[in-house]
Structure 1
Amino acid sequence: MAFSQWMAAGLLLAFSSIGASAAGLGGEGLPSRAGNGDPVAGREKADSGRCLECHGDDGNSGDSRIPNHAGQYAGYLVKQLHDFQTGARQHAVMSVMAEDLDAADMADIAAYFAAQQPMQGRDGSGKRAAPGLFLHGDAGRGIPACADCHGRHGEGRAGEDGTLYPLIGGQRKVYLRAQLTAWKLGERKNSPDGVMNRIAASLSDDEFEALVDYLSGLRPP
């Protein structure tokens, strides 16, 4: 068997097993991690300096400022690529990377990253006490529990309206902090109904730090 055939077969096997297990994450209603793209084609499209150089061959970036995509839900990644393309989300590099992608390209690239083993915190969450906001929110300030949308282990969830909330457990700490800050300042505005802007605007710096510290150590199933 040629190397390219062997690699394709391995990717498809990994894609099938991970996609099947992902369907059970978080209970009923969680969509397949993979979406409808082709992970083998996505590997080729993600190469050649477009994605893998920054986000890592296995979806785990080597730069704390760049997000891990390993095991991220394909539907969420497709939305972000589309938002970069349309300007709904602003980023100097990603807007250029996304500008010439068509729908099939986005689906395939997203499927490749979704087929990787889900990102894992480096030291686990057991060493940290879960911030109350993550598990319980703060009703007095109108802040829902982070786990209500993102799952108790940060594994993500699908809302009843089909909204897909991303995998955030095990994500890079610096990246998480930067995104919360961007939500708070209004520099990022592409969450459903602006929910992340409202939540982030209510959080203190200490709460930011507690959340990113806890989330970065989680190990989603």
Structure 2
Amino acid sequence: MSAREIFSFRNPYFSASVGITVALFLLTALGGFIVLPYAQPQLKFAGLWDTICGAAGLPRASTAEGGQPAAHTSRVVLTSTTLARASQESIGRGATLAQRCAICHGPTGISQADSPNLAGQYASVIYKELLDFRSGARTNAVMSPFAQNLSDQDIADLAAYYAYLPRLPAFHPEPQLAPTRIVVYGAPLRGIAPCGSCHGSLDNKTGSPWLEGQSALYMKTQLQAFASGERRNDINQQMRNIARAMTPQEIEEAASYYASQPPEFIKVVE
């Protein structure tokens, strides 16, 4: 049999192969671009084209329940060089601005309450979160009004200052726990990557905070907020997708583990 006869629609095997391939492609496109996006209860799409754009990751005019515009999401773009080299002047200005932050985050960037510790946090993380608080992508009764009055330079200066501070032990240290499965291995069958693949120990992803020594209550609250969709300033819904798939026990274990860990390094200030 010649090649022309093999690749001819008169060949029943070739016709069947093409038909099956086309059918699989159409079913996959239908599921990925229409069925699965419509299955997201937290989003309401304006139409079929809006749904397809959403599945493809393109800007779209999604609306929330009741036909109201969807909540703001983060539009901050981060790279590995974002605020990588801050000037001494920027750090000094940030130190002055940070006096207003001390009541919640502590005078040395270590909170005595359940607010996050900021001393030694990556500058890109603080920069992104403050911009999100200012834009409304992330909301908080205390932080949102505070961020409204900050300029872009103010935010960069605060980020530079806190990143400059040494990472110190938590104000209320907890007994150190062994790594848990969700932190080290994740849950691949449920699409959960290891926490350490973004938040240190295995790797650090730009924009992901270091978590060692943070308040267990704060971390648990944030994971629950991601899971419920109350917090939605994660880029590409990464944390929302992970938190939704986590069990309450896994959320508890991850928060407790990180809260019990000492800072991954302590900067010596001469």
TM over 0.5: yes
Q: Which residue of 2 aligns with 1:112?
A: 161
Which of 81, 86, 97 is equivalent to 1:45?
97
CA offset digits 1:51-72 (Å, max 9, x no partner): 11111111011112x1111110
Per-residue CA deviations over 1:32-54 (Å, capped at 9, x if unaligned) read 9865362211111121xx21111
Number of matched residues?
A: 182
**Residues 178 and 119 of structure 1, relative CA distance in 2, 3 Å threshold:** farther
Q: 2:199 aligns with which of 150, 171, 196?
A: 150
Runs of 4+ in 1 over 3 A off after TM superposition: 29-35
Higher relative contact order (CA 8 A, sep 6+): 1
Partners in 2 of 1:166 and 1:33 — Cα distance?
15
1:197 equivalent in alignment to 2:240: yes
TM-score w.r.t. the length of structure 1 is: 0.76
Secondary structure, aligned partner of 2:192: coil
Identity of aligned residues (%): 35
Please state how far the C-alpha of 1:165 moved relative to its aligned partner.
1.4
Name 1:177's counterpart in structure 2: 220
Structure 2: unaligned runs, 5 residues or longer: 1-78, 266-270
Amino acid at match of 2:155: M
Equivalence for 2:137: 88
Please tell me whether the aligned partners of residues 120 and 164 of structure 2 are also in contact (alpha carbons under 8 angstroms): yes
Aligned mates of 1:32, 1:193 — CA distance in 2? 19
Tell me which residue corresponds to 2:127.
Answer: 78
- How far apart are 1:119 and its partner, in Å? 4.3
Alpha carbons 1:70, 1:117 under 8 Å: kept: yes
Which residue is equivalent to 2:20?
none
Q: Do the aligned partners of residues 44 and 104 (structure 1) sit closer, same or farther apart at CA in structure 2, a change above 3 Å counting?
A: same
Match of 2:104 in 1: 54
Partner of 2:148: 99
User: Any idea what the Cα deviations from partners look like across 1:84-105, whole Å, max 9, x if unmatched?
Assistant: 0000001111110000111110
Q: Aligned partners of 1:54, 1:143: CA distance in 2, in Å?
A: 32
- 1:157 partner amino acid: N
Provide the residue aligned with 1:19 in structure 2. none
**What amino acid does structure 1 have at the position aligned with 2:96?**
E
CA shift at 1:202, angstroms?
Answer: 1.0
The structure with the largest alpha-carbon Rg is 2
Residue identity matched to 2:198? C
Residues 192 and 119 of structure 1: is their aligned pair in 2 closer, same or farther, counting only changes over 3 Å?
Answer: farther
Q: Which residue of 2 aligns with 1:17?
A: none
Alpha-carbon displacement from aligned partner over 1:95-132 (angstroms, at most 9, x marks no partner): 1000011111011111111111114352463xx22111
Query: 5+ residue gaps in structure 1?
Result: 1-28
Q: What CA distance in whole angstroms lies between the structure 1 residues aligned with 2:165 and 2:260?
A: 19
CA contact 1:43–1:112 (8 Å) conserved in 2: yes
Question: CA–CA distance in 2 between the matches of 1:61 and 1:191?
Answer: 23
Q: CA RMSD in A?
A: 2.1
Q: When the two structures are superposed, what TM-score results if normalisation uses the length of structure 2?
A: 0.63
What is the aligned partner in structure 2 of residue 141 from structure 1? 190
CA contact (8 A) 2:82 2:124 kept: no
* Counterpart residue number, 1:22: none
| Pairing 1:208–2:251 present | yes
Shift of residue 141, structure 1, vs aligned partner: 0.6
